[in-house]
Structure 1
């Protein structure tokens, strides 16, 4: 590809930059974009225009981003879901190769939650029960092939257990099903469980991060790893751009976003939303995309979920 003459990028950016959010308002992707938007004029020299393009589990927004001109005036919010969708064979683009990461903004571990009226006090106790009673435990998740579903499949694999899957149409329904006693355990965002932990209705047995969480209410929860279960995977949000963006523009954007993300005001805003800031630059983000993609693909193949999804689509 020919290098772009320097004259085309010296003034960049000289107009507002559109940010495509592939989900509706109020979710993690949207809150990330709105937080970036507040500080963009200071660090990018132009405002960000946030455009929500929900639908197709993120595919509509990511398709638009992948097909956009790589001129630096269209960027999008990336999330771990974009590694999953192409595996199911239902997308126009292979997002990990059609898009390039600029930065990772935040990473959120998931937690395994049960109701406090259940007898299990620890993760090993839950797994032991599952081994002794195959298929009796019900696990609620937000749809076949969703991130929470895959975490449940990982648990089955590393724990050597068989569990009944109960799919719902979203994370809100999953928490409601747990509180109603319709399922025995769920994987959810810590913020979805925090208030229920405070009021004593929910107990959390494990967290999927490398370390324990810093939130004082959740800080005592052990990781899966320290309990002998090799599950380390976080849901993350970042900024991605169409492939083949000129390197000068990409560098300028990456530096601008880094300055926003490392601003204490931004960190505070994100913390208030329950989104812990975890900055990674372009190269580190790319390595993270690759590692997570390999882990998710392996789980989907080993569990047979990938075959099931593809069979359903035929």
Structure 2
């Protein structure tokens, strides 16, 4: 064998050995967790609810980093480009991985990630300030029908679940409104309280954090946390949806790293500490393993593609 070829093989073997050792010792430094929305939104709240327990399970600090913008596709895109070594992971919800790829061309898709675990799946409520003249969902529709496009509703970004839910509600009722997007739920809630928008659809944690009035829930059945709030189906609008999310990572994680992350996520998501914190946010804890979470995302991508087409948001 020529000297050059032998040197190449030795170098490759050394690299593989180094990678294997690194994977076995993972994590040996703090792990970054990208949150593709601003602080104060549902994704941020659920990520920080998991942070302490998952840090304990990993044996290293889990450091949340908010990367909002472009309906969460900026932070999610950065996650897709990160080195697949487990040092950078993300808490990502439905919007940027199951909805946005159905609306526009992105440099990533659901196939661009390794799935670690799902940690929450919360209902969406239509909500308004307590000072609002709208006491019911019917009041909203009455105004929207009488004043085409004058009903101003917010969302945490174009093509996010809060946007899709309200658009589907108005579409089912034969009404129209004007969508005003924000960088995240925290910013959107402040706009609602300030009168920039009239209503929005989001998780119950946002209603609780900002003392908002909930008018209806996009669930098949009434929620135990809000038994007096009717479902959209009860009101005659056959659309259901939720905001779910979980931990994902750049595609190509070494198997030992993926396994350690999944074990840590399971320990955190099933811990009493996380369950109690999630319950305070009216967002019951949930756990799906890597295999089940991946299958769920793939199915949701197909479902949301059909919804996107129904409300006319698909790419032209």
**Which TM bucket (shorter chain)?**
0.7 to 0.9
Q: Contact 2:35/2:64 (CA < 8 Å) preserved in 1?
A: yes
Write the distance in 2 (CA, Å) between the matches of 1:255 and 1:43: 8
Residue pair 2:102, 2:305 contacting (<8 A) in 1 also: yes
Q: Which residue of 1 aligns with 2:62?
A: 48
- Count residues with an aligned counterpart: 296
Matched, 1:87 2:102: yes
**1:153 — aligned with what?**
167
Indicate conservation of the 8 Å contact 1:138/1:165, yes or no: yes
Matches within 5 A, 1:135-146: 135=148, 138-142=151-155, 143-146=157-160
Residue 102 of structure 1 contacts residue 241 of structure 1 at CA under 8 Å; is this kept in 2? yes
- Inter-CA distance 158–75: structure 2 relative to 1 (3 Å threshold): same
1:69 partner SS: coil
Cα distance in 2, alignment partners of residues 36 and 149 from structure 1: 26
1:224-274 deviation digits (Å, cap 9, x = unpaired): 234443322111221001112233321221111111111101122233344
Distance 1:11 1:295, change over 3 A: same
TM-score by length of 2: 0.77
Bigger CA radius of gyration: 2
Structure 2 residue aligned with 1:59, among 73, 80, 92? 73
Alignment-derived partner of residue 208 in structure 1:
218
Q: Using the alignment, how far apart are the partners of 1:253 and 1:68 within structure 2?
A: 16
Is 1:296 aligned with 2:304? yes
Q: Distance in 2 between matches of 1:172 and 1:155?
A: 22
**Structure 2: how far apart are the matches of 1:33 and 1:136?**
35
The root-mean-square deviation of aligned C-alpha atoms, in Å, is: 3.4
Q: Any unmatched runs of 5+ in structure 1?
A: none
> What are the Cα deviations for residues 2-27 of structure 1, in whole angstroms up to 9, with x where unaligned?
xx879534333333322222233333
Q: Is the 8 A contact 2:268 2:274 kept in 1?
A: yes
Is 1:34 aligned with 2:48? yes
Q: CA deviation at 1:168?
A: 4.5
Pick aligned residue for 1:231 from 236, 239, 244: 239
Q: Pairwise mapping of residues 47-196 of structure 1 onto structure 2 (< 5 A)?
A: 47-83=61-97, 84-89=99-104, 91-94=106-109, 96-113=110-127, 123=137, 129=142, 133=146, 135=148, 138-142=151-155, 143-159=157-173, 161-169=174-182, 171=185, 185-194=199-208
Task: Measure the CA separation in 2 of the matches of 1:169 and 1:92.
Answer: 22
